[in-house]
Structure 1
Amino acid sequence: MTLIYGHRGAKGEAPENTLASFQTCLGHGVRRCELDLHLSRDGELMVIHDPTLKRTTGHRGKVVEHDAAELAGYDARQGGPEWPTPCPIPRLSELFEQCDFEHWQLEVKSASRVRAARTVEAIAELARHHGLTERITVTSGSREVLRALQRLHPQISRGLVAEHAWLDPLKVARHYGCELLALNWTLCSPERLARAQKAGLHVSVWTVNEPALMRRLADFGANSLITDFPGLAVATLAR
């Protein structure tokens, strides 16, 4: 059975990476999600995709230049589907408290060695505090992040985000002891899928929004699909 992950919550239906988006995802009965993390200036994990604020909030500057309390006051509705009420940038701790997902893919973008280590430590501590260590996989396309996970918290499940085929994603995933391979759908051939699964990897394909593509990838045997439209995916795969 192919599982469904809501991409940044339900990015096609509600402002991405906001509480409203994750609640929309859960409203469709989809209890797996993917989200993005950046550290605030004072070291809190904030749920936002870009390192800068402009696209989703209209504010200038980088996430890392603002404290968490300030970031949590910014409305992140810009550039997404229309939404009637303000949608603040959430702290990851808020989502852990308010959203009952059975599995979380937490993506960390590229980072310096020091920043990667700080981010990994913050995730490990928060997951432990909420009793969710077994229900998270930290994913990244960054060697520094995967290396930090391997070195500091090898007990946390990790996943490689593969967007380009210039390096063999299977080889890289194995090198960093990954359990999950988050594969861009354009890289997902039946052969690569079979090889990855034979190597013991859960293959999560992104971002899959067209019903015909959802069905095709499910027929290939993809372990899970990451989609902006979790409700559509439920309806499509149920047929």
Structure 2
Amino acid sequence: MTFSGGTVELHGHRGARGLRPENTLPGLAHALTLGVDAIEFDVGLTADDVVVLNHDQVLSPVNVSDTAPVRPGDPQFPYVGKALRELTLAQIRTVDAGVRRPAADDDPFALTQLPLPGTPLPTLAEVCALLSAAPEVRPAVELKTDPGWSDSEVTRFTAAVAEVLEAFGLTGRSRLLAFDWRVLVEARRYAPDAGRVALVERVTTVPGTPWLAGLDHADPAGAALDVGATALSPEMALATPDLVERAQGLALPVAVWTLNEPADMTRYVGYGVDAIVTDYPDRLRAVLSEHGLPVPTPWPGTMPVPN
């Protein structure tokens, strides 16, 4: 996997979460029209083995709401609060993902995100169809698992994601991301041409952590290299200049997340990171331009987005 040498890549987080509903086709399309190098989104697996977009493994009342059961008297309704793996695609299709309903009134995304009522959660196949029209943009697909998953479940999920990417000819330009590094091991097997991005945050890099596929938490960059990652993606609190230098010294590009304030963006541009993940691609574009760095070309026109 290559990043753009001598530049800072702009990665839209969950599409453009600060501006449009997260992990939805309209949200991803908006990021494309703003101009991004890569577009990050989260996927899970339904009970009938369909890969769908959603951040949490459980349908959260923050970003989705129930409408009606898929059939009268469905004993699993309401669906919000249930795990994706317990629900079929037909059931998940009924939820509305277009309006953020946070628990707190000061939720920053609710204050800046344009509501789009009636927007469903898309499948990975639908997203691939959208991104096929934007060949310069790299899909950054985060597979949502945790150490409680069995090895066989991780394998099944990773293989399902790889199959969809391959069907659309997107494997070679995609990056597969995971906190559960077993996914990266399986990605090397099922999607060897895709990038493999080792995600780390403070809770996954503690002594005895079950997240890093049994590798040493004390050296995240070295462990990422050992597991076969092609890039390291730490949360902002972990992305110290020393970690950036260590990773890049191992030829691992560093993509730091999630930076939404211009001051933080400027600081990490100074650290020399390879990519910045943001909920506000418009803000990062402005910061990069102020520093004389190139910005990705916006996708022209209006992207066709099925609802």
Shorter-chain TM-score bucket reads over 0.9
Distance 2:230 2:182 in 1: 17
Higher Cα Rg: structure 1 or 2? 2
**Corresponding residue of 2:86:** 65
**How many equivalent pairs are there?**
239
Deviations 1:73-101 (A, max 9, x none): 31112334341432111101101101326
1:13-162 to 2 correspondences below 5 Å:
13-55=19-61, 56-58=63-65, 59-76=80-97, 77-79=99-101, 80=110, 81-99=113-131, 100=134, 102-109=137-144, 110=146, 111-162=149-200
Deviates more, 1:107-116 or 1:224-233: 107-116
Bigger fraction of residues in strand: 1
From 187, 192, 199, the counterpart of 2:243: 192
Answer whether contact 1:17 1:48 (CA < 8 A) is retained. Answer: yes
Moved over 4 A (4+): none
Question: 1:30 offset after TM fit, Å?
Answer: 1.5
Answer whether contact 1:36 1:106 (CA < 8 A) is retained. Answer: yes
Q: Partner letter of residue 95 of structure 1?
A: V
TM-score, length-scaled by structure 1: 0.94
**Corresponding residue of 2:301:** none
RMSD: 1.6
SS at match of 1:57: coil
Distance 2:31 2:193 in 1: 28
Distance 1:54 1:116 in 2: 22
The verdict on how the C-alpha distance between 1:229 and 1:138 changes in structure 2, with shifts beyond 3 A counting, is same
The verdict on how the C-alpha distance between 1:64 and 1:191 changes in structure 2, with shifts beyond 3 A counting, is same
Distance 1:32 1:152 in 2: 21
**Corresponding residue of 1:9:** 15
Deviations 1:123-171 (A, max 9, x none): 1111111011111111111132122223444333211101025312112
Deviates more, 1:206-215 or 1:152-161: 152-161
Distance 1:97 1:28 in 2: 19
Distance 2:50 2:183 in 1: 17
Distance 2:182 2:116 in 1: 39
TM-score, length-scaled by structure 2: 0.74
SS at match of 2:254: strand
Answer whether contact 2:175 2:197 (CA < 8 A) is retained. Answer: yes
Question: 1:189 offset after TM fit, Å?
Answer: 1.5
Distance 1:97 1:155 in 2: 19
Deviations 1:53-72 (A, max 9, x none): 13321323111111113212
Q: Partner letter of residue 195 of structure 2?
A: S
**Corresponding residue of 1:227:** 278
Aligned sequence identity (%): 31
Deviations 1:96-129 (A, max 9, x none): 1013262121111223211211111111111111
Unpaired runs of 5+ residues, structure 1, are none
Unpaired runs of 5+ residues, structure 2, are 1-6, 66-79, 102-109, 207-216, 291-307
Q: Partner letter of residue 57 of structure 1?
A: V
SS at match of 1:118: helix
Deviations 1:162-219 (A, max 9, x none): 1025312112201111001111111112221111111111110000001011011011
Answer whether contact 2:12 2:36 (CA < 8 A) is retained. Answer: yes
SS at match of 2:39: strand
